[in-house]
């Protein structure tokens, strides 16, 4: 590396950086059906496809071990990987784990981490089949690679949304973001206090949403049983605004979502009020929700509403209309992604 001042990564954002790095890559094998640009790569197996994705968690960036139980961290790491397979409408089957381990991590700590991973694998019907370990100078690093399968004609890409499609999400948003803020607040308040007693009463749901998110495989099973196949789908990990824009970019479309239709849990609103945070901002930009957002044809409206499992928050529009949040008084606000996504 030279010392010449170059382009700051933050100026591109996470997705811009990925686009820059991957646009030069050639596909040399006919079996590579989809490379970068979706929640998982898609490899041709004949009548089926192999789905492959990798996700990394870095101490100090993605988690803080001063308040993140290692058992929960192991569970969450698996869910993050599995959700990328689910977002392709696939069946998760195996995961591989690579760890960068610093000297401060004990064997017992790793036992707890793997206990959480195995709990998640058992719940989701996934096998942990191997991995790698190496030393780390900068804390704990966890890399999860998840593998799954799907019938070739059942795979759902980000690029399939069509005008008038309904935009659906599997649960409320912003809770994980507020759970993180609650943990950070108590860490600051209790710093240097002997025998600290954090005040979490009344906000347990927010902590669970951040520390132990749930994969939504059950929703996809119900959709399949009802003959409802999403036209596009994405894992909501970077915030509603950012992830909706990814679907619109891939599908070359616009979107209108309605503020009053975005589900926000009562605890999210209560803590946001206490901490002087707009709960809508938490829902739009907070990230870490790990819900699924998908689109379905307008003709499926009655059927999807009858399920009672998802919230319909808007619809797909023409590309030139942009990505817009509609307020209760009818004002349209253009949605912008964050400058840099974790």
CA 222 to chain centre: 21
Q: pTM for the complete prediction?
A: 0.91
Domains and CATH numbers, the chain: 9-154 (3.30.1330.10), 158-334 (3.90.650.10)
Percent of the chain with pLDDT over 90: 83
Please count the other Cβ atoms lying within 10 Å of the Cβ belonging to residue 76.
26
**Is pLDDT of 232 > 60?**
yes
Instruction: Determine the Cα–Cα distance for residues 178 and 191; give it in Å rounded to an integer.
Output: 20
Model confidence band, residue 191 (pLDDT cutoffs 50, 70, 90): confident
Alpha-carbon distance of 252 to 247, in angstroms, equals 8
User: Which pLDDT does position 79 carry in this prediction?
Assistant: 98
pLDDT at 27: 77
CA dihedral 52, 283, 187, 143 (to 10 degrees): 0
Considering only 34-38, 41-45, 131-135, which range has the smallest mean pLDDT? Answer: 34-38
pLDDT for 182 equals 97
């Amino acid at each position: 590396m030279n010392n010449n001042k170059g382009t700051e990564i933050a100026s591109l954002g996470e997705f811009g950086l990925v686009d820059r790095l991957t646009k030069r890559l050639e596909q040399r094998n006919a079996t590579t059906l989809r490379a970068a640009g979706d929640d998982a790569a898609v490899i041709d197996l004949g009548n089926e496809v192999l789905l492959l994705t990798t996700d990394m968690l870095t101490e100090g960036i993605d988690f803080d071990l001063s308040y993140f139980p290692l058992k929960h961290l192991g569970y969450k790491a698996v869910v993050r990987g599995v959700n990328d397979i689910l977002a392709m409408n696939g069946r998760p089957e195996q995961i591989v784990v690579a760890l960068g381990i610093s000297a401060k991590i004990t064997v017992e700590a790793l036992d707890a981490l793997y206990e959480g991973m195995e709990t998640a694998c058992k719940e989701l019907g996934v096998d942990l089949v191997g991995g790698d370990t190496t030393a780390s100078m900068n804390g704990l690093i966890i890399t999860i690679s998840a593998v799954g399968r799907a019938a070739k004609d059942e795979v759902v890409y980000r690029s399939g949304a069509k005008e008038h499609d309904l935009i659906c999400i599997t649960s409320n948003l912003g809770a994980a973001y507020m759970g993180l803020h609650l943990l950070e607040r108590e860490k600051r308040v209790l710093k240097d206090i002997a025998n600290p007693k954090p005040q979490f009463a009344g906000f347990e749901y927010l902590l669970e949403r951040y520390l132990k998110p749930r994969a939504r495989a059950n929703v996809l099973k119900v959709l399949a049983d009802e003959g409802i196949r999403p036209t596009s789908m994405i894992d909501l990990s970077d915030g509603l605004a950012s992830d909706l824009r990814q679907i619109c970019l891939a599908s070359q479309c616009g979107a209108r979502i309605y503020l009053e239709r975005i589900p926000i849990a009562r605890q999210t609103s209560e803590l946001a009020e206490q901490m002087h945070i707009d709960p809508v901002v938490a829902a739009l930009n907070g990230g870490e929700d790990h819900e699924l957002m998908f689109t379905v044809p307008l003709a499926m409206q009655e059927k999807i509403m009858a399920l009672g499992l998802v919230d319909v928050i808007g619809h797909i529009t023409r590309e030139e209309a942009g990505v817009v949040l509609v307020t209760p008084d009818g004002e349209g606000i253009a949605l912008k992604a964050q400058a840099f996504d974790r």
